Structure 1
Amino acid sequence: MRAPLLLLLLIVGLSGVFSGHSLHFYETTVSVPGHGLPKYSEVGYVDGIEITRYSSDVGQVVPVAPWMKKVEDPEYWESQTHRCKVNEAISRHEVKVLMNRFNQTTGFRYYQFMCGCELRDDGSIRVYDQLGYDMKDFLALDPERGVYYPLTDQAQATTQQWNSPEEQAGKRWKNYLETECIDWLKKYIEYGKEELERRVRPEVKVSEQNVNGVTKLHCQVYGFYPRDVDVKWQKNGIDVPSYEAKHVFPNSDGTYQIRVTMEVPAEDREGHSCHVDHASLDQTLTVKFESQSSSNTLWIVIGVVLAGVITIAAVLFIVWKRSGKRHILYFWNG
C-alpha cells in the first residue's frame, strides 16, 4: 500500500528538529476501495519508525517493528484493535458527512487524520492533530486553546460543529494527546529502548550545482540515527538561510538522510561551510565547501610539485648511473 501525497508530507514535515521521542498515528479513509488502498487504514510511528498497522482488510492491529513483536500481552492487542475499529467507524461516518456537505455523491474521496505527541528531553511536550480531505489540508487543532481552526473555507462548518459547546472536540483531543498519548509513548520507548536509543554518526558531503546561471550549494547528510538533526549553512561563521525546506527522509536500513540547499552568487561561493548537530556527535561537525575551481587549482599545484620531484629523482638516478654511488653521496653532502 502506498501512502497518498498528503500523508507523506505529514510524515516528513511535521516534526521539527528536537531532542526527545515522538508518537504519531496516521489514518486514511477512502469512500470506495481502490488504488491499492483498503477503505480504512491506520499506522503508528515512534520516532519515525513504523511500529503497528491496521487495515479494514485484515481487521486487527499487527506489529511491524521487530521489538513490538515481543509484546505478547493479548489484552494490549485486543484493546488496540478495538480502538482502531472505533476510529474506523468514526472516520467512515465523517467521509459520508463531508461528501453530503460538498454535494459529492460519487467519486474517490480521501479522508486523512493525523495525531501525535512529542516528549522532549527537557520534559516539555508537544501535540498535533490535523485533518485532510481530498488531498488538501482541511483543519487542525490549536493545542494551546484546545479548539480547531479551518485551513480552508470549506472547513468552516465542520470547525464550528467540533468547537460547539455540545462537542468541544478540541478540548477532548487536547486532553487525550497530553495524557494518554504521552503515557503510551513512554511505554513504547521502554519496549524499543535498545533500538530507539542507538546512535549512528552522519556522513556529510557538500557539493555545488549550476542551474540556469544560479549556483546552488548542497549539504547532503545521510546514514544517521536517530532522526532528529540540525543542519545549516554558514558563511564565515554567520548563519545563512537555506533555499529549500528541511525534510528528513528514511533510508531502507533504518537510518535517515537530509539535504539542505542554499543559493549564492557564482562569485560568492568561498567561505561557506555546512554545520551538523546530532545526538551521535560530541561536537558540531563542520564541512567546508571548496569550489571545483579551487579543487582543480589544488590538484594542479600538487601535480607540478610531483612532476618536479620526479624530475629531480630522474636526474639523480642518471648521475648515479654515470658517475657511481660515491659522487651521489658527495652531491647530497654539498
Structure 2
Amino acid sequence: MRVPLLLLIVGVSEVFSGHFLQYYHTVVSVPGRGLPEYTSVGYVDGIEIRQYSSDSRRVVPVAPWMERVEPEYWERETQISRGHEALSLNSARSEMRYLNQSGGFHSFQWMYGCELRDDGSARGYAQLGYDGKDFIILDLEQSIFIPLTDQAKVTAQKLNTLTEHVGVKVKDYLENGCIGWLKKYTEYGKEELERRVRPEVKVLDQNVDGVSKLHCQVYGFYPRDVDVKWQKNGIDVPTYEAKHVFPNSDGTYQIRVTVEVPAEDREGHSCHVDHASLDQTLTVKWEPQSSSNTLWIVIGVLAGVIAIAAAGFIIWRKSSGMKTNYAQTSTSDKDGSSTSSNT
C-alpha cells in the first residue's frame, strides 16, 4: 500500500508567537436567563482566567493556575471591578438616551488588551462595541478615540475633550500596566501557556458531479493560533469557507480548510500549515490515489466497527431472550393504581 501522505518541511513560520491579555466588559439593557446586567471577563492566550459579574460582585479565578495568585489580589481587583461596573452602567445608559433607545435589548461592550511577542515587541488595542457592532476605536499613536459610525461621533468627541485625557490614560495602561500583568499571569500559568503541541495533518478529497473538494484537516495542536492555506504549484488558492478553529476535549485545537477545484485539476495542490510548534511550514501534498484510498480506509474501518457491534448485539439479544417488539409497560403508584404508556 502506498504512503497516504507526503510530508515536506519548507518555508519559515510566521504565526504569532508570544502571549496576549484581553478583557471584555459587557453591559446589557435587559438582564436575565443567566445573563447578568454587567460582566467582566479576562483571558490570557484565549483561556479564561478570571470573571466578575453584577450578580456575584466578586472577581473569582477561572483557570486553575490563577489560584496561585496572592489573596490580596482578589480583594483589590474586586474593588476595582465594582468601580468599572458603575462606570460602565452609567456610560451604557447615557449612550442609550442619546440614541433614543429607551427599551428593548441593547449591549454595550468595552474591549481592550495587549500582546507581547517572543521578540520583545508589544502592542495594545482598545475599542467600544454597541449592539454587537464596532462603535469606537482608540488610536494609540495619537491617544484619541475614532468613531466608526455616525452615531458614535458625539461620544468620541466627548471622550476626546474630557479633562482627564482618557485616551492618554488608556494608552499608558496598555503599554505599561497591561504588559506588566500579562508577564505575571504567564508566569503563573507558564506550564500550561508555553506548551507546544505539533499538529497532525491529513489531506482528503471528495468528488461530487465533477467537482472535487480538497479537505485539509489539521488537529491536535496547541496553542490556538494557526495558519492553514492551500496552494497549487506554489501559488495560493483562495478558500470560500470560513476558517473556524474548534477546541478538542484534551485542550488542543483543530481546523479544516477546504477548496473546490475541478476533479481533473487536483494535481499540484498542497496544504501548508504554519504553527508556533513548527520551526518551518509543514506542507502536505495531495496525491492522486492516496487521498481517496485514505478516505475509503476510514469508511472501511467504520463499517467494520459497525458490523462487529451489530453482530455482538444480535448475539447478546439471543442469549438474553430479548423480544424484538415493544409492549406496553405499567407503573404503579402508592394507591395501587396503575398507568400504562407506550415506549
For the aligned pair, the TM-score class normalised by the smaller chain equals 0.7 to 0.9
Q: Determine which of 12, 17, 41 is the counterpart of 1:43.
A: 41
Q: CA deviation at 1:132?
A: 1.2
Considering Cα pairs closer than 8 Å and 6+ residues apart, tell me whether 1 or 2 has the greater RCO: 2
Is 1:243–1:260's contact at 8 Å kept on the other side of the alignment?
no
The AA in structure 1 aligned to 2:86 is A
Q: Which residue of 1 aligns with 2:251?
A: 254
Cα 1:98–1:291 change in 2 (3 A) is farther
Secondary structure (helix, strand or coil) at the match of 2:161 reads: coil
Q: Which residue of 2 aligns with 1:57?
A: 55
1:1-334 aligned at under 5 Å gives the runs: 17-71=15-69, 73-164=70-161, 166-209=163-206, 215-290=212-287, 295=292
Q: CA deviation at 1:118?
A: 0.4
Cα 1:180–1:41 change in 2 (3 A) is same
Q: Which residue of 2 aligns with 1:303?
A: none
The AA in structure 2 aligned to 1:60 is R
Q: Which residue of 1 aligns with 2:316?
A: none
Cα 1:190–1:40 change in 2 (3 A) is same
Spell out, residue by residue over 1:124-183, the C-alpha distance to the aligned partner (whole angstroms, 9 max, x if none).
112121221112221212223222222222111111111226353222211111110000
The AA in structure 2 aligned to 1:44 is G
Cα 1:127–1:213 change in 2 (3 A) is farther
Spell out, residue by residue over 1:64-85, the C-alpha distance to the aligned partner (whole angstroms, 9 max, x if none).
11111122x1211112112211
Distance in 1 separating the partners of 2:285 and 2:85: 51
Larger radius of gyration between Structure 1 and Structure 2:
1
TM (norm. structure 2) is 0.75
Distance in 2 separating the partners of 1:143 and 1:218: 40
The AA in structure 1 aligned to 2:77 is Q
Distance in 2 separating the partners of 1:56 and 1:62: 13
Distance in 1 separating the partners of 2:15 and 2:290: 34
Is 2:52–2:60's contact at 8 Å kept on the other side of the alignment?
yes
Q: CA deviation at 1:210?
A: 5.9
Distance in 1 separating the partners of 2:100 and 2:269: 55
Distance in 1 separating the partners of 2:118 and 2:36: 37
Cα 1:180–1:214 change in 2 (3 A) is farther
Distance in 1 separating the partners of 2:158 and 2:105: 25
Q: CA deviation at 1:281?
A: 2.7
Bigger proportion of residues as helix: 1
Is 1:161–1:167's contact at 8 Å kept on the other side of the alignment?
no
Is 1:40–1:88's contact at 8 Å kept on the other side of the alignment?
yes
Distance in 2 separating the partners of 1:148 and 1:17: 29
**Unmatched runs of 5 consecutive residues or more in structure 2:** 1-13, 297-343
Spell out, residue by residue over 1:31-82, the C-alpha distance to the aligned partner (whole angstroms, 9 max, x if none).
23124200111111111111111111111111111111122x1211112112
Secondary structure (helix, strand or coil) at the match of 1:259 reads: strand
Cα 1:209–1:129 change in 2 (3 A) is farther
Is 1:208–1:291's contact at 8 Å kept on the other side of the alignment?
no
Cα 1:207–1:122 change in 2 (3 A) is same
The AA in structure 1 aligned to 2:261 is V
Identity %: 71
Secondary structure (helix, strand or coil) at the match of 1:50 reads: strand
Distance in 2 separating the partners of 1:146 and 1:173: 8
Provide the alpha-carbon RMSD of the alignment.
Answer: 2.5
Distance in 2 separating the partners of 1:80 and 1:106: 32
Is 1:220–1:259's contact at 8 Å kept on the other side of the alignment?
yes
Distance in 1 separating the partners of 2:154 and 2:288: 55
Is 1:41–1:55's contact at 8 Å kept on the other side of the alignment?
yes
TM (norm. structure 1) is 0.77
Spell out, residue by residue over 1:243-281, the C-alpha distance to the aligned partner (whole angstroms, 9 max, x if none).
345443333332122233334344322211111122323
Aligned residues: 282
Secondary structure (helix, strand or coil) at the match of 2:116 reads: strand
